[in-house]
Chain A
């Protein structure tokens, strides 16, 4: 179950799945000279098709940076990211990013936001798609509402729906539920799992919340503090829905706590 990455530069993978995404020796240094900040240190990882992977690490370690590199918004200082064998050169609508800061467009309604990426579809099909995803994320009745009239959780759902509506192969979620209260967060997690099981997207989910990682993902990639290195990779071999008080759950969670070097007691 727990496979510590002995050689951080060697790609770490869950052997059973065909790799879809592969990051090879990604390093990122911001600035130069005295001001240089070393954020990513030779990170290599693989993500299989249809897999739900969490990138877990302390705040400020470089998770968003890594996800931005993977998504093609940032070019790494060294290393590269391959998807289906092709180097990533920029963002692509087949792989949609859900931003940590609120990324819904405040000048568009819920409908407008969800349909944002559907500009090349015929009108009728666009409307069907929008209606479908409005329904899926439970925003029926709010189609004409502007983001400022929605709660934080609703806005986050709009953003997830906007990403899903273009039917991407992959979703990159950067702490999507970080700003939500704990109840809404739990609801959103199970909704995300429901969507993932229905649509089988490949998901890379960034979080600094250990429980969130263990509840959601097939595999947890644990990053160290800055500069981020892969510290360990943990397979979560539990079927959904997961019993978060089962011995196995606690064992996995405590394994990660150990790996990070945290005590189990507060």
Chain B
């Protein structure tokens, strides 16, 4: 890590007309943003949008996906629909999001919602479909009512796969928020990057924004990953 920073510094120094600002300039940029309070404001704005879009998608997509997986018929009916929507990049929805919701938080949240909804529902659907029959049969054998089977067998059985899905999707949501903020709003880390460029080619601020995006993305991933170590979930990650 340190070696990479040094390499970056040296590489930039060696060039008369550097393609990138050096690490010191970027650190300076970060400092400037932090002092002015913009950094915190933009990070909070981006996280706010991701949280809402992602949470709404999870709250809707997971129960829906679980239900579809449970009643395979519905899955079959909806599958062509999902297959057509899936290859459309969420970014392709940006104009429509702006048309519907105007420039602002709602448009960005809508885009994140869209980007998260399909992967989450597909994950939930597949997770249910792949529960071994023995677990469901054992649940029924002990006299569980259908609602108890859902809470005591289905739900714990899908958790490991669901968490992988949440992790991947949160990564996607974080990619999408940056893109959405470049066009659909005027705050957030994505906006910071476009704005820094437009307002006087402040590439030190551009790279500072990129660094923040990377760091926060990593922290989000670590956060979801820590769920994988809960004992009642981690069974799905061993080779048992």
Identify the closest chain A residue to B235 (Cβ).
A106
B160 to chain A, nearest CB (A): 9
In the complex, the answer to whether B235 meets A99 with C-beta atoms within 8 Å is: no
Identify the closest chain A residue to B153 (Cβ).
A105
A92-B137 Cα distance, complex, nearest whole Å? 11
Report A-chain residues with C-beta under 8 Å of the C-beta of B143: 92-93, 117
Report A-chain residues with C-beta under 8 Å of the C-beta of B240: 106, 147-148
Report B-chain residues with C-beta under 8 Å of the C-beta of A147: 235, 240
A10 to chain B, nearest CB (A): 31
Q: Is B232 an interface residue (CB 8 A)?
A: yes
Q: Is B206 an interface residue (CB 8 A)?
A: no
B14 to chain A, nearest CB (A): 53
Given contacts A93-B143, A107-B235, A146-B231, contact A99 B138 (CB under 8 A): yes
In the complex, the answer to whether B233 meets A148 with C-beta atoms within 8 Å is: no
Given contacts A105-B156, A146-B231, A146-B235, contact A96 B142 (CB under 8 A): yes
Given contacts A107-B232, A108-B232, contact A71 B153 (CB under 8 A): no
Given contacts A105-B156, A107-B156, A107-B159, contact A116 B142 (CB under 8 A): yes
In the complex, the answer to whether A148 meets B142 with C-beta atoms within 8 Å is: no
Given contacts A107-B233, A148-B235, contact A117 B134 (CB under 8 A): no
Q: Is A103 an interface residue (CB 8 A)?
A: yes
Which residue of the partner chain, among B141, B153, B231, B238, contacts A96 with CB atoms under 8 Å?
A: B141
A228-B238 Cα distance, complex, nearest whole Å? 38
Q: Is B132 an interface residue (CB 8 A)?
A: yes
In the complex, the answer to whether B140 meets A90 with C-beta atoms within 8 Å is: yes
A239 to chain B, nearest CB (A): 32
A105-135 to B contact mask, C-beta < 8 Å, 1/0: 1111100000011010000000000000000
B141 to chain A, nearest CB (A): 4
B132 to chain A, nearest CB (A): 7
A221 to chain B, nearest CB (A): 23
A206 to chain B, nearest CB (A): 15
Which residue of the partner chain, among A102, A116, A166, contacts B134 with CB atoms under 8 Å?
A: A102
Within 8 A of A (CB), among B131-153: 132, 134-135, 137-138, 140-144, 148, 152-153
A65-108 to B contact mask, C-beta < 8 Å, 1/0: 00000010100000000000000001111001101011101111
Report B-chain residues with C-beta under 8 Å of the C-beta of A166: 142
Which residue of the partner chain, among A97, A101, A102, A146, contacts B141 with CB atoms under 8 Å?
A: A97
Identify the closest chain A residue to B143 (Cβ).
A93
In the complex, the answer to whether B135 meets A103 with C-beta atoms within 8 Å is: yes
In the complex, the answer to whether B134 meets A101 with C-beta atoms within 8 Å is: yes
Q: Is B157 an interface residue (CB 8 A)?
A: yes
In the complex, the answer to whether B134 meets A103 with C-beta atoms within 8 Å is: yes
A204 to chain B, nearest CB (A): 14
Q: Of residues A97, A99, A105, A147, which shows the largest number of chain B Cβ atoms within 10 Å of its Cβ? A: A105
In the complex, the answer to whether A97 meets B138 with C-beta atoms within 8 Å is: yes
In the complex, the answer to whether B235 meets A97 with C-beta atoms within 8 Å is: no
Report B-chain residues with C-beta under 8 Å of the C-beta of A116: 138, 142, 152
Identify the closest chain A residue to B238 (Cβ).
A148
Identify the closest chain B residue to A71 (Cβ).
B141
Given contacts A148-B238, A148-B240, contact A105 B233 (CB under 8 A): no
Report A-chain residues with C-beta under 8 Å of the C-beta of B140: 73, 90-91
Q: Of residues B134, B142, B153, B159, which shows the largest number of chain A Cβ atoms within 10 Å of its Cβ? A: B142
Given contacts A146-B231, A147-B235, contact A103 B157 (CB under 8 A): no
A96 to chain B, nearest CB (A): 6
In the complex, the answer to whether A99 meets B134 with C-beta atoms within 8 Å is: yes
In the complex, the answer to whether A97 meets B232 with C-beta atoms within 8 Å is: no
Identify the closest chain B residue to A94 (Cβ).
B143
In the complex, the answer to whether B137 meets A91 with C-beta atoms within 8 Å is: yes
A108-B142 Cα distance, complex, nearest whole Å? 15
In the complex, the answer to whether B231 meets A93 with C-beta atoms within 8 Å is: no
A106-B238 Cα distance, complex, nearest whole Å? 11
Question: Which residues of B are interface residues toward A (Cβ below 8 A)?
Answer: 132, 134-135, 137-138, 140-144, 148, 152-153, 156-157, 159, 231-233, 235-236, 238, 240
7 smallest beta-carbon distances between A and B, as pairs: A117-B142, A106-B235, A93-B143, A107-B156, A148-B240, A91-B141, A103-B134
Question: Which residues of A are interface residues toward B (Cβ below 8 A)?
Answer: 71, 73, 90-93, 96-97, 99, 101-103, 105-109, 116-117, 119, 146-148, 166
Having A101-B132, A117-B143, one finds 17 other A-B pairs with CB under 8 Å, namely A90-B140, A91-B140, A91-B141, A97-B141, A101-B134, A103-B135, A105-B156, A105-B157, A106-B240, A107-B156, A107-B232, A108-B232, A116-B142, A146-B232, A146-B235, A147-B235, A166-B142
